Structure 1
């Protein structure tokens, strides 16, 4: 039985303060967050809800006598194994969607960055459709069914292999169309999943976090969805029409091809004019245009299938589906051009030459877009290559004699992924070795300041602390590694130009470098198995992350961080849990503020980011009764640098202003993710931030001591990024904020 709701009509509880805890990506249970086993749900449902200790529990109160409550949201992001396993297949879409939110702050080029991010996202949809077409049409319908060796012993294919080429192309084209329809259906279903949790009074405002929980269901998202579906259908039509044109052009083929080109150009134009996509009123002509576009694309698909299946023509003999190689290469070359343009635009934006330390030097959108496209190309090449190997009944490192020779663009993508991975691993080793001396020196200075003149028996623990600080400081080096990997990925994608002119890896390496063909074949096979290992690793990691809270801290962090952002660039990205979490938290805080004298919002890790979005949504009368405690928070160290337009310095200062700077942030040097927000307080760093922001950050010595306390045999643990609600310094921070709320309440009439 649930506790009575705070909005049940009871009077205000004078002097009572609620401490509302929001966990991070680790997905800890409510009992663990509250520090007691006996808890009960007081609001929400089985996927996300609010919990309190039972009245008979010994731990019903927090520091300073606060009423304890926890919000558990972990199942929204990765609650089921099936949903977490989809990380493998939706990861490129999710990464491309995140690039939209990595736009640089300020400047007059934001619309250009937005357009390029959305065009890159569109090319990923085209790669998805072309991959399905490569397996169903190029490998199966054209190569396998035209080979007696492939059909031997496969009765389930022989019946279709005896049919005319056009008919089998039309029938097997239903497979890639069904693949597009599948993500269409899943996306539409996911979009409706959180509809009941929206606040009807929500009004998106500018670029701040206030609009996060509204953007995903706005007309913009629906228009994006229709545009991507239409573009995918048209791309598949182009594949069929290109093959049909090779058998001889006809009036029908010319008309359908012209219509397909016009539809694809319309999709691009709609994405290139943000005003048409973002600002058009509901039920206007512009609002209905993407839906009409999708309907026309569906009609074109029906006409194309009919033309290919019915028209009697003499199909040419070729080693692959006519035109398919060039179409894939053109899409890859287009991706390369878009990535280069995005990088140039970000670098040369106003203020783009600012060389202050930043995780990705302002290149977040370009870097993540490159990683997304490179991963999509590698996964597509692996799928096509694996299907080719199965159909040809030959191992990957042998060159198939008859049918299973994937198009050159996929071979270049696999080779590029292998070389890029090897180069990235080498770069990682170089960065680790080259920065280790500086990181070790900094760690020694921190340990010397925190534990001056430790006794000899504490030397081992001091060394463990120094190693923890060294590992935690490597986070600042990840930006250089990511930029290196992105540059190598773009170079690898540029190899698609070679595929467009018919050059393949084996002959080119043999003629230019003298590398034997069998050596490069082995390298290609290793690249395939490397991609397969990545896929298996993501699958296994996703499975364990959905079942083990501790494992999710390391594997699920990518998923939880990526699904925080609504679908504003790629409509096939995973659903955004912010759609529900922010409005649900907002509503609950409003209820608590009406009944109690104040609410201390306590957020660990990603929970602090959720609370940041929630604070900006609270009504003014509620914000006056709210205080914020963040710990192990990535708000500044990661989020403000990766998403400067939405979580940059001005937004963080606005959060402080909105709640009267009743804000404390706890951080430690052993934390690889969380950190300071306004003032670093590290050895040698000046306190440049003026009051009251400078009073927010509280650096914790971690561990509190290197000696075991009296009566104990082991020293205090090194918390790192682990939640530390049981630490006395956390309790002191809660007590301080609760006292501030009581004092402010006493001063109000």
Structure 2
């Protein structure tokens, strides 16, 4: 478990570490301080790994800024099971990841070169009272551009630094041969992925530098007109971008631990081209003493932003088509979002990246204009595409809110009927004294059932995001959103101007909310219980779509847990793994990497597990029913899964208990799931003074039904030999 201290997991006040370190360690109760054993005499040991995905507050905050990359990286692992659509999703997610790197670079180009070097330093009203940059105001435009290009170069360097961080594998653990190419949970956390991440990082850094180079070349081209030298340099930059796209379109060659020499040569050539081109372009720009006009902004920057937005919209549409084809080819498709997680998460990644880029440019613009925001054009206003995204974001929020409200209202009756049926089944005896508690339980179950309705809401958000990116192409026509809306759709200008301004405020609220969530998700257990699982989900998957994703903690946690289980079994112990929430995914990945001689002495107890409800739906190729069945078969079906209908995250694995439709489980599968009545009772029990609370997604280690499951599996471990 990651969200609690070891003493809280073990329910023992005095513990000590027996293996690992402070980031990921194994703890046992200290002898001599009460009973150090659990139910049926089992030896207690907890694996606490909370410092691996969280760490210091600074790192938690960095996750917010890297969230678009993390969402895109999660999307690539949501590929469908069908081979061809799955391969298409893999490639398209990598190309979308490349556009996120380009947008990251263009956002800093917009701030440093468009707003500062061109617009602000060409305006006396902007430079007034700002001695820290007024000394550059009278210099040649080439010198200003070259010096301020160090800002996007430094931003790229920060990404390089973050991307170079990697996990730390357990040096003494090697999974059985033949698992590396399976691309299921058994492949998570394998050291063979490191070379592919290094190649991916070099490609993205080369692309980022080339985007900066092409931006400077476009400015020189507009300032001096066409020239042979600029043409050659532009051709080299365009060729470098094309090379990045080609390499990312060859996943089998790029992902191989030992690829062909051509792939390595191509990556090195891209790196050398990007470095050399950057040095040449910066030198030419630095010594350019021409006095070409810059008041209108960086030439070509608006066109580059629009082209990037349209490209992202097209890639999202292609990704949706590939995912839909893969969904149709999957005979086990269940649920509205099954197989469609990749385009949805990719759209969230692109949407957040656009929000960050827009907010960065507009906040800097407000500062340069001395916070004098107005919908009309100001001397240091960002390029029009960003204004279109502000209005598009405003409409997206309205559309999503309306659809979400409609879903809540339309589904409420059915959810309440299902909840009433479950409460009547669990508590058939009715009395006036329990009516209030009965209503409370019904509401909790109805809220938990809304998780399945979120699929429609997320698909709606995807459609709106894709359309918004396409509409941003109107920025090429030099049309203000208010003017275009009035001329094309007869929408009042005041409404559009207000929507644009509200869109800016909403973007700021999203950013602030993410910052708060990034801190409290790892500092408050109650907050982490629901929000932290999203961080756990994103950081669990290795970096395959974007190399600047936060390091994958599974690269250490999975082999470390597998190594510990192997060591205990080889010294003669039997191991029962109890895993709560996302810990069940970590446990499943570790068990799938154990040697055959270890598996007969291992059992699994999961509670509040999202394996089926979230992971099998979002990651069908990696956590599908076939993978879960393989896991159960390997451990001899010594597996118990405890779940509650009040839990909005966890759920059943094989047996839905009549509440949801699913294929009839096999006899062995039918022994896995055990539904816990929640709450335990509607009345005060025994010597207690309050009614049993509704537990929802909380751990159930203190529940006597959990202890009974421990005893059952411990008995199975002793007898199944």
> 1:152 aligned to 115, 128, 153, which one?
128
- Mapping for residues 238-387 of structure 1, pairs under 5 Å: 238-247=214-223, 248-279=225-256, 281=258, 284-317=261-294, 319-349=296-326, 351-352=328-329, 356-387=333-364
8 Å CA contact 1:359, 1:642 repeated in 2: no
Question: TM-score, length-normalised on structure 2?
Answer: 0.96
SS state at 1:647 partner: coil
SS state at 1:630 partner: strand
Question: TM-score, length-normalised on structure 1?
Answer: 0.93
Shift in CA distance, 493/209, structure 1 to aligned 2, threshold 3 Å: same
Distance in 1 separating the partners of 2:68 and 2:535: 12
8 Å CA contact 2:81, 2:326 repeated in 1: no
SS state at 1:619 partner: coil
Aligned to 1:16: none
Shift in CA distance, 267/732, structure 1 to aligned 2, threshold 3 Å: same
Aligned to 1:550: 526
Q: CA deviation at 1:509?
A: 1.8
Shift in CA distance, 381/567, structure 1 to aligned 2, threshold 3 Å: same
Distance in 2 separating the partners of 1:609 and 1:341: 30
SS state at 1:679 partner: coil
Q: CA deviation at 1:288?
A: 4.1
Aligned to 1:706: 682
Aligned to 1:395: 372
Distance in 1 separating the partners of 2:257 and 2:17: 42
More displaced, 622-631 or 55-64? 55-64
User: Is structure 2 residue 675 aligned with structure 1 residue 688?
Assistant: no
Runs of at least 5 residues in structure 1 that lack an aligned partner in the other structure: 1-22
Q: What does the per-residue CA deviation read over 1:204-228, in whole Å, with 9 as the maximum and x for residues that have no partner?
A: 1312112211268421111111100
Q: What does the per-residue CA deviation read over 1:557-612, in whole Å, with 9 as the maximum and x for residues that have no partner?
A: 22111101110100011111101100110110011112244100110000000000
Q: CA deviation at 1:287?
A: 2.4
SS state at 1:160 partner: coil
Distance in 2 separating the partners of 1:326 and 1:109: 32
Q: What does the per-residue CA deviation read over 1:7-47, in whole Å, with 9 as the maximum and x for residues that have no partner?
A: xxxxxxxxxxxxxxxx25xx011111101111111111111
Aligned to 1:8: none
SS state at 1:334 partner: helix
8 Å CA contact 1:215, 1:221 repeated in 2: no
Q: CA deviation at 1:284?
A: 2.8
> 1:505 aligned to 461, 472, 481, which one?
481
Aligned to 1:50: 26
Aligned to 2:43: 67
Q: CA deviation at 1:325?
A: 0.6
Distance in 1 separating the partners of 2:169 and 2:599: 25
Q: CA deviation at 1:536?
A: 0.9
Distance in 1 separating the partners of 2:226 and 2:35: 79
Distance in 1 separating the partners of 2:93 and 2:562: 31
Shift in CA distance, 683/246, structure 1 to aligned 2, threshold 3 Å: closer
SS state at 1:582 partner: helix
Distance in 1 separating the partners of 2:294 and 2:557: 57
More displaced, 196-205 or 373-382? 196-205
User: Is structure 2 residue 176 aligned with structure 1 residue 199?
Assistant: no
User: Is structure 2 residue 428 aligned with structure 1 residue 447?
Assistant: no
Shift in CA distance, 738/423, structure 1 to aligned 2, threshold 3 Å: same
> 2:501 aligned to 503, 521, 525, which one?
525
More displaced, 213-222 or 107-116? 213-222
Aligned to 2:147: 171
- Mapping for residues 8-87 of structure 1, pairs under 5 Å: 23=1, 27-87=3-63
Shift in CA distance, 65/596, structure 1 to aligned 2, threshold 3 Å: farther
8 Å CA contact 1:180, 1:229 repeated in 2: yes
8 Å CA contact 1:420, 1:489 repeated in 2: yes
Aligned to 1:666: 642
> 1:724 aligned to 666, 682, 700, which one?
700
Q: CA deviation at 1:113?
A: 1.3
Shift in CA distance, 147/681, structure 1 to aligned 2, threshold 3 Å: same
Distance in 2 separating the partners of 1:286 and 1:421: 43
More displaced, 546-555 or 422-431? 546-555
Distance in 1 separating the partners of 2:660 and 2:617: 22
Distance in 2 separating the partners of 1:628 and 1:157: 63
User: Is structure 2 residue 539 aligned with structure 1 residue 563?
Assistant: yes
Distance in 2 separating the partners of 1:243 and 1:143: 13
Q: CA deviation at 1:255?
A: 1.2
Aligned to 1:3: none
Aligned to 1:469: 445
Shift in CA distance, 361/547, structure 1 to aligned 2, threshold 3 Å: closer
Distance in 1 separating the partners of 2:31 and 2:402: 57
Distance in 1 separating the partners of 2:72 and 2:503: 23
Q: What does the per-residue CA deviation read over 1:157-188, in whole Å, with 9 as the maximum and x for residues that have no partner?
A: 11111111011101101100110111101221
Runs of at least 5 residues in structure 2 that lack an aligned partner in the other structure: none
Q: CA deviation at 1:697?
A: 0.7
8 Å CA contact 2:310, 2:472 repeated in 1: yes
Distance in 2 separating the partners of 1:184 and 1:377: 21
Q: What does the per-residue CA deviation read over 1:628-649, in whole Å, with 9 as the maximum and x for residues that have no partner?
A: 1111000001100100000001
Shift in CA distance, 666/124, structure 1 to aligned 2, threshold 3 Å: same
8 Å CA contact 1:87, 1:538 repeated in 2: no
Distance in 2 separating the partners of 1:198 and 1:487: 47
Q: CA deviation at 1:470?
A: 0.6
Aligned to 1:122: 98
Distance in 2 separating the partners of 1:145 and 1:721: 55
8 Å CA contact 2:210, 2:240 repeated in 1: yes
SS state at 2:597 partner: helix
> 2:629 aligned to 653, 663, 675, which one?
653
> 1:541 aligned to 517, 529, 532, which one?
517
Distance in 2 separating the partners of 1:312 and 1:164: 6
User: Is structure 2 residue 196 aligned with structure 1 residue 182?
Assistant: no
SS state at 1:51 partner: strand
SS state at 1:708 partner: coil
- Mapping for residues 628-647 of structure 1, pairs under 5 Å: 628-647=604-623
8 Å CA contact 2:162, 2:550 repeated in 1: no
Shift in CA distance, 317/62, structure 1 to aligned 2, threshold 3 Å: closer
Aligned to 1:416: 392
8 Å CA contact 1:92, 1:373 repeated in 2: yes
Q: CA deviation at 1:355?
A: 9.2
Q: CA deviation at 1:195?
A: 4.5
SS state at 1:41 partner: strand
Q: What does the per-residue CA deviation read over 1:386-413, in whole Å, with 9 as the maximum and x for residues that have no partner?
A: 1111111143235353x22211111111
> 1:90 aligned to 66, 73, 90, which one?
66
- Mapping for residues 729-748 of structure 1, pairs under 5 Å: 729-745=705-721
Shift in CA distance, 355/522, structure 1 to aligned 2, threshold 3 Å: farther
8 Å CA contact 1:629, 1:734 repeated in 2: yes
Distance in 2 separating the partners of 1:735 and 1:362: 38
Calculate the aligned-residue CA RMSD, in Å.
Answer: 1.8
Q: What does the per-residue CA deviation read over 1:340-398, in whole Å, with 9 as the maximum and x for residues that have no partner?
A: 11111221237348695325142110111111111111221111011111111143235
